[in-house]
Amino acid sequence: MNILAAILAAGSGSRVGADVPKQYLPIGGVPMLRRAADAFLLHPAVDQVAVFCPADWLAQTRAIFADTGAVILPGGATRTQTLERVVGFWRTDSGNPDDILLTHDGARPLVSARIIHANIAAARTYDAVGTYLACADSLVRGEGDTVTTPVSRAGVYRAQTPQTFRAGALAARLAQLTDAQKNALTDACGIFTLLGETVHIVPGEAINFKITTADDLRLAEDRK
């Protein structure tokens, strides 16, 4: 059994407002993508790391990871297409259905070793594992600029990554989805929930936030 980590970083990240895809912006002088991947490259349980980047950034990404053993591959046009390429990489690299496959967002550069360890440990028992942070804020529904009704936060979580799977189970479930279901996916664990299957929860951390805006980037710079 191998433990493989796939860093998903094929998006454009345009909401940050930068001239380059956000995953290449520096945090403390280190590209965001490299910081996200380093957590897995340095983790003693992870056997292989593959980075899925924009096809026109392959050369730059290989240069960023030249001092590592990471595999650099082009991602797809959508998250689902990138996941399909992750599965293709697993089939080529090993193909053992009992392999553990971690998928992590390249825009979450502050993931901890604790979260990675907890995902791996849970995936030894469960086919699908997700990192989730219990919602602490008060929630409301609104219409325009007016609050309409409060929403209970009981049982409400914010999805984070990594999301971790027994590789054979992920491949089999992904193959079951229709094109319409694939187009509706927003994350890898959604493959299982769309099919009515259970996803095991690993507690997340507030520091493991996704960088989406320029404010997020400044916050990550402060927290590095």
pLDDT exceeds 60 at position 55: yes
* The pair of three-digit structure tokens given for residue 210, joined into one six-digit string: 């996704």
pTM of the model: 0.93
Distance CA 4, CA 99 (A): 7
Distance CA 196, CA 214 (A): 37
CATH number assigned to the domain with residue range 3-223, chosen from the 4 options 3.90.550.10, 3.30.750.24, 3.40.50.2020, 3.30.160.270: 3.90.550.10
Average pLDDT over residues 158-185: 95
Distance CA 85, CA 119 (A): 21
pLDDT of residue 69: 95
Angle, CA of 123, 129 and 135, to the nearest 5°: 145
pLDDT exceeds 80 at position 87: yes
pLDDT of residue 15: 61
pLDDT of residue 19: 80
Containing H/E element for 63? helix 58-64
pLDDT exceeds 70 at position 14: no
Give the contacts of 14 (CB within 8 A, at least 6 positions apart): none
Residue 70 has, within 13 A of its CA and on its CB side, a CA count of 28
Map out the domains of the chain as residue ranges: 3-223
pLDDT exceeds 90 at position 104: yes
Who has greater pLDDT, 1 or 40? 40
Whether residue 24 contacts residue 221, with contact meaning beta carbons closer than 8 Å, is answered with no
Residue 144 backbone class (left: φ over 0; alpha: ψ -120 to 50; beta: rest): left
pLDDT level of residue 224 (50, 70, 90 thresholds): low
